[in-house]
Structure 1
Amino acid sequence: MFKSNNLTASESISLAKEITKIGVQDTPLVSLLMSKGLTEKTNSTVHTWRERSLDQTADISVPEGNESVTFYQSGRAELSNVLEIFQKGVSVSGTANAISVNGQGNIFSSEVADRLIELKVNMEKAVTKGVKNDGSATPFIRKMQGLEGWADPANLITGATIGKITEAEVKATVKKLWDQGLPTGEYFGLVNADMKEQIDALYKDSYSYIAQQNVFGLVVDTIRTNYGNLNLILSRHASADKLTVFDPNYLSLAFLREAQFAPLAAIGDSVRGHVVAEGTLKVASKKAVAVYTLKA
């Protein structure tokens, strides 16, 4: 809960716990990762990590007493993503801040809470479909690569029929992760309303969903395939023509600065501050993301 005595004039206040709990339905991907504790610390404006790929040698059988040992090692490609800064300012007149409105309490604290929700929504948009920009050119704003742009080239599928997804294509998208050898078999699919309506129609008459489960306050339809369970998450920020399937165990949010409030110097009769966060999306392996795109 935001209280006026939490917002001092001399120090920054961490809002890491608050941002996890607010705006869940409009920020399903960020909320999912935060609720699962899939966050980490980074120490640079570019977050770099190594992707592990297991050796795929088909036959490693050897004769009894073999003395010619063949050595193998995991492939470790270097991956990176750019940290993006999200910021929202708050300025309230001294008069407005002194007025106590029934049901609202301190107006400055209320404004900070609203700006934090807006910051999280903007973070959701970037994490979902942001386009990478290192910020080296005008206007020098760094942008992260969103989830939709992280799929391994082998995990990309384009629909066969213009503007229409089929049941076989849904299964084929999930199968891409199974083909890559992912062990969990529990996947999530980020989808916009139009695509979700089409998928619902596929199963309307001949199937019923196996189960419904609650994921941090979100009702998620689960479709069971031979290659794993697909939990569909409705997101207004997902591209209308894409179904993005991913294993959340391979994803995390890396922060240089978690969401926080910091006061700003007052100008005249006002109270000022801002909420700010600086972070990026980490995808431990591109093989853990598959994207289906409707044929245009």
Structure 2
Amino acid sequence: MPGVAAIANTYNAPNFVGELFALTRPDTPFLSAIGGLTGGKRANGVVHTWSVYDLRAPDPNRQRVEGADAPAAETRVRGQERNVLEIHQETVGVTYSRQAAQTMFAGTGSANPNAAAIGGANAVDNEMDWQTRQALIQISRDVEISFLTGTFQEPSTNSTARKTRGILAATTTNVITNATPAPLTEKVVLDLLQKVWENGGIQISETATLMCGAWQKRMLTTEFVTKKNYQEQSRNVGGVAVSTIETDFGSLNVMPSRFMPADTVQVVSLDQCAPVLLETPGKGFLFSEPLAKTGAIDRAQIYGEIGLEYGPEIAHGKITGLTTAAE
């Protein structure tokens, strides 16, 4: 099976004839929906902060009498949220021989992949460019899982890597946790949506989203579509095709992700989320540059710093401890 090699050469990365198929899915729905690796906001440091504030509860007895003195002053206090940007860095390298041997193809059953040459078309015209594209896709998958399940890590020295806080760890207020695994039901989803809605989240229907893995997606379809005999609808959010379900709190997107924990459903107000990018002067964000020559090899590094801004965490919610298979 395909795997990982160090520097690509004619032995560990031979050419093959025919169409090229990917064994690994490259989709990153959460990252793509909030801006991807080319959108989002610009940071000016490795720590990114944003402010939050609230208003007092409405008072039905706030009226004043004629001629009354001015009431005591009240000040709304602002708070601050913070997250760090994490570094993603990859290296690709291809030998001179491998770059030159574009029309040499591996024969099946040969101990030496260079021993048999057969006619046909090579699916990869430029090995260095192709390897670079795959490294970028792998970085996007790494960022996707960080934005979902990342654990915040802000070290005091450079001996430890910075790690951005993912949306699951950021969500602390609107949480429903099952001490004993329990199946997902319409009631528990609506209970969570009510919590989020009352705290100001999912106010924009187009960006109100439920993220989950494969099994919980099936459960959502059963609870909100099959049992109610609804026709499942779909729409596009930030270039990502999603299905929708009808709830008491509007039409919500359902966004399956391969990187979501199987026992969790996350409610996300996508309008509050954005990737935050730190640009290197003269290079930009997520750039590729050649590394120093040490032999008959072309080597390049890909480098970028990115973090997640999730807005006020009370705009999101999560259910954990769900069963992950049919009882």
Coarse TM-score class (shorter-chain normalised):
0.7 to 0.9
Superposition pairs of residues 131-142 of structure 1, within 5 angstroms: 131-136=151-156, 139-142=159-162
Give 3-state SS (helix, strand or coil) of 1:96's partner.
helix
| Kept in 1: contact 2:33–2:240 (CA 8 A) | no
- Tell me which residue corresponds to 2:298: 271
Q: 1:35 to 1:224 in 2, by over 3 A?
A: farther
Deviation by residue 1:243-269 (Cα, 9 ceiling, x = unmatched): 111111111111113222122112100
- Map of 1:15 onto structure 2: none
The aligned residue for residue 196 of structure 1 is: 217
Report the equivalent of 1:91. Answer: 93
Measured in 2, the distance between the counterparts of 1:72 and 1:37 equals 42
Q: 1:55·1:72 contact (CA, 8 Å) conserved in 2?
A: no
Does residue 262 of the first structure (1) align with residue 311 of the second (2)? no
Alignment partner, residue 230 of structure 1: 252
What do the CA deviations read for 1:133-185 (whole angstroms, capped 9, x no partner)? 113478511111101111242x1112487330110111122222210134424
Aligned to 1:45: 46
Question: Going by fraction, where is helix more abundant, 1 or 2?
Answer: 1
Q: 185, 188, 198: which is aligned to 1:169?
A: 188
Question: In the comparison of the two structures, how many residue pairs are matched?
Answer: 273
Provide the rounded CA distance (Å) in 2 between the counterparts of 1:55 and 1:25.
45
Aligned equivalents of 1:127, 1:114: Cα separation in 2: 20
**1:98 positional shift:** 2.6
For residues 232 and 54 of structure 2, the distance between their equivalents in structure 1, rounded to whole angstroms, comes to: 33
1:119, 1:287 → 2: CA distance? Answer: 29
1: distance between equivalents of 2:39 and 2:64? 41
CA spacing shift, 1:65–1:262, aligned 2, 3 Å: farther
**Alpha-carbon spacing, 1:106–1:295, altered in 2? closer, same or farther (3 Å):** closer
Query: What TM-score do you get using the length of structure 2 for normalisation?
Result: 0.76
Q: Determine the structure 1 residue equivalent to 2:266.
A: 244
Shift of 1:97: 1.9
Indicate which of 225, 231, 234 corresponds to 1:212.
234
Q: 1:213-249: per-residue Cα shift (whole Å, max 9, x none)?
A: 1335543121122222221101010111111111111
TM-score, normalised to structure 1, is 0.83
Structure with the higher fraction of residues in strand conformation? 1
Match of 2:129 in 1: 109
Q: Say which one has the larger Rg.
A: 2
Where does residue 11 of structure 1 map in the other structure? Answer: none
Query: Equivalents in 1 of 2:71, 2:137: separation in Å?
Result: 58
- CA contact under 8 A between 1:210 and 1:223: conserved in structure 2? yes
**Can you give the 5+ residue segments of structure 2 that lack an aligned partner in the other structure?**
1-23, 104-121, 280-284
CA spacing shift, 1:144–1:36, aligned 2, 3 Å: closer
Q: Distance in 1 between matches of 2:124 and 2:159?
A: 38
Unaligned residue ranges in structure 1 (runs of 5+)? 1-22
Q: Within 1, Cα distance between the matches of 2:31 and 2:85?
A: 15
Q: 1:125 to 1:147 in 2, by over 3 A?
A: same
Which amino acid counterpart does residue 254 of structure 2 have in structure 1? L
Q: Cα offset for 1:112? A: 0.3
Q: Would you say 1:290 and 2:309 are equivalent positions?
A: no
Which segment is superposed worse, 93-102 or 210-219? 210-219
